[in-house]
Amino acid sequence: MNKTKHNPDRPSRLSTRLNAYDYTSHGAYFVTICTDRRTPHFANPTFHALLFEVWQALPDRFPGISIDEFVIMPDHVHGIIWLDSTKEHAPALGQVIGAYKSMTTVAWLNYHKKLGGLCSKHLWQSGFYDHIIRNDQDLERTRQYILDNPVKQQER
């Protein structure tokens, strides 16, 4: 067993996941993924489009999932992902988000390489926030939150 020494300079992260919950379970999940250090990388229209394209392609990579509302903010994204646990080899929510983060990071690095500029290797914070959508009212409230998020951001 590989034991990592505690480093007091690096705070440990507590998981926000429900311990006994199966994150391959059929249903809808609201996710928020934030940029590393909440840096507003996504004001760039070219990269904004890339993030959207990768989101749209997730069902091709993971048959059995579908995507719902999605918004790209300057330093984070919000989206709803539906998992279908009846499909063979159904992915867990973490696998889908991990793939999204990986594919967008590669696109991020390639974009900056093409421009000849330097960028941080870390586009995203580690982890992500998720909320299991429990019923139709919760789904509608979450969709509205996603749709309203850009307006609320401008009001700040």
- Fold type of domain 27-155: Alpha-Beta Plaits (3.30.70)
Q: What is the pLDDT of residue 17?
A: 54
Reading the block at residue 103, the tokens are 């594919």
Distance between CA atoms of residues 17 and 148, nearest Å: 26
Torsion sign over Cα 131, 135, 140, 143: positive
What confidence score (pLDDT) does residue 18 get?
54
Q: Check residue 57 and give its pLDDT.
A: 97
In the chain, helix, strand, coil percent, each to 5? 40, 20, 40
Question: Which residue do the tokens 């979450």 mark?
Answer: 142
For every one of its 156 residues, what pLDDT tens digit does the chain have, with 9 covering 90 and above? 334 444 445 444 444 555 666 788 899 999 999 999 999 989 888 888 999 999 999 999 998 899 999 999 999 999 999 999 899 889 999 999 999 999 999 998 998 888 887 777 789 999 999 999 999 999 999 999 999 999 887 776
pTM listed for this prediction: 0.85
